[in-house]
């Protein structure tokens, strides 16, 4: 089957776009490797309609079911290459399958640099966070341990001082912090510990603090991760000649979400620069509307 649109990425933006395109009665395929941000976040707290929070896996589950209601097809596949020839995109996957489509939406997202401490997973989105715009409020008046690296971690600690005055920054990788940044930390009474973390302490989803390599326990009620080096998943876009910023985020038209390459759109965290669930939803719908317009006008 040749699809009218293939969406690479089954996170929030990709799912929302699929729902919209399905309602337009287009033949749509979503390819997803199940390794996105939304697959690991246990709770989002700033989404209309979910005052008590909602998990990424739940949104993915109901989003997929919603799209299937309109005939959207889904495949759990890792895309490894894309070529454009004879007015169609040919998608190649790691399982050696090929899919063909007339339009392409890149909703490949980004992945945070999350250290491989075993206890972190169940805490993500519940008591340990990565985005202050999403979850800074969740540390309000709570003792917060920032697990991070150098200036990235230090600046996260400074940002969180808006919500709490009880912050400990553990410079896990012992990277440089600029002198002027240190001065700001000291001014706000933020403790800085230059030592490697040996273990994250948690009771299930409840963060309790960290144990350092020296054996010292640093207690905390909430945690924040700030190591930098997030991976923007735009390599496939680059293969197609899609224009990107220096930080690898994709540049799109503000009105339509189309890239500089004809018939290629992008939406969500991979775009410059959203990184919010609600914005990803909006961009998914926005891209789908213009993909529809291009299909009916062809």
Among 16, 5, 7, 74, residue whose Cα is nearest residue 284: 16
Residues forming a β-bridge with 128: 124, 223
Structure token pair of residue 282: 């909006």
CA angle 90, 240, 285 (to 5 degrees): 80
Q: Is residue 105 a contact partner of residue 14, using CB atoms and an 8 Å limit?
A: yes
Instruction: Check: CB of residue 168 under 8 Å from CB of residue 153.
Output: no
Q: CA–CA separation, 139 vs 134, rounded Å?
A: 11
Tell whether omega for the bond before 273 is within 30 degrees of 0, i.e. cis. yes
The pLDDT tens digits along the chain (298 residues) read 899 999 999 999 999 999 999 999 999 999 999 998 899 899 999 999 999 999 999 999 999 999 999 999 999 999 999 999 989 999 999 999 999 999 999 999 999 899 999 999 999 999 999 999 999 999 999 999 999 999 999 999 999 999 999 999 999 999 999 999 999 999 999 999 999 999 999 999 999 999 999 999 999 999 999 999 899 999 999 999 999 999 999 999 999 999 999 999 999 999 977 689 999 999 999 999 999 999 998 7
Q: Which tokens hold the place of 257?
A: 């979400």
Domain ranges of the chain: 3-112+230-297, 118-226
Spatial separation of the C-alpha atoms in residues 2 and 182, rounded to whole Å: 57
CATH class given for the domain over 118-226: alpha beta
pTM of the model: 0.94
CATH topology agreement for domains 3-112+230-297 and 118-226 = yes
Does domain 3-112+230-297 fall into CATH 3.50.50.60? yes
- Name 272's Cβ contacts closer than 8 Å, sequence gap at least 6: 245, 247, 249, 250, 251, 252
């Amino acid at each position: 089957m040749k699809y009218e649109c293939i969406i690479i990425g089954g996170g929030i933006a990709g799912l929302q776009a699929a729902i919209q395109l399905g309602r337009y009665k287009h033949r749509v395929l979503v390819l997803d490797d199940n390794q996105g941000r939304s697959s690991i976040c246990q709770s989002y707290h700033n989404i209309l309609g979910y005052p008590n929070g909602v998990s990424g896996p739940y949104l993915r589950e109901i989003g997929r079911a919603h799209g299937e209601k309109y005939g959207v097809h889904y495949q759990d596949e890792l895309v490894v290459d894309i070529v454009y020839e004879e007015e169609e995109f040919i998608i190649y996957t790691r399982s050696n399958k090929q899919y063909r489509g007339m339009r392409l939406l890149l909703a490949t997202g980004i992945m945070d640099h999350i250290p491989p401490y075993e206890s972190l997973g169940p805490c993500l989105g519940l008591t340990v966070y990565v985005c202050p715009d999403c979850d800074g409020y969740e540390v309000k008046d709570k003792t917060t341990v920032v697990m991070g690296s150098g200036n990235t971690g230090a600046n996260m600690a400074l940002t969180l001082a808006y919500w709490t005055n009880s912050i400990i920054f553990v410079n896990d990788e012992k990277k440089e912090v600029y002198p002027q940044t240190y001065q700001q930390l000291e001014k706000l009474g933020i403790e800085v510990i230059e030592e490697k973390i040996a273990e994250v302490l948690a009771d299930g989803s409840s963060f309790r603090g960290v144990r350092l390599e020296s054996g010292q326990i640093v207690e905390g009620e909430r945690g924040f991760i700030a190591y930098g080096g997030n991976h923007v998943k735009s390599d496939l876009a680059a293969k197609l000649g899609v224009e990107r910023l220096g930080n690898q985020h994709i540049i799109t038209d503000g009105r339509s979400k189309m890239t500089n390459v004809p018939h290629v759109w992008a939406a969500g965290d991979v775009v410059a620069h959203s990184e919010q669930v609600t914005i990803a939803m909006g961009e998914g719908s926005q891209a789908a509307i213009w993909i529809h317009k291009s299909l009916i006008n062809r």
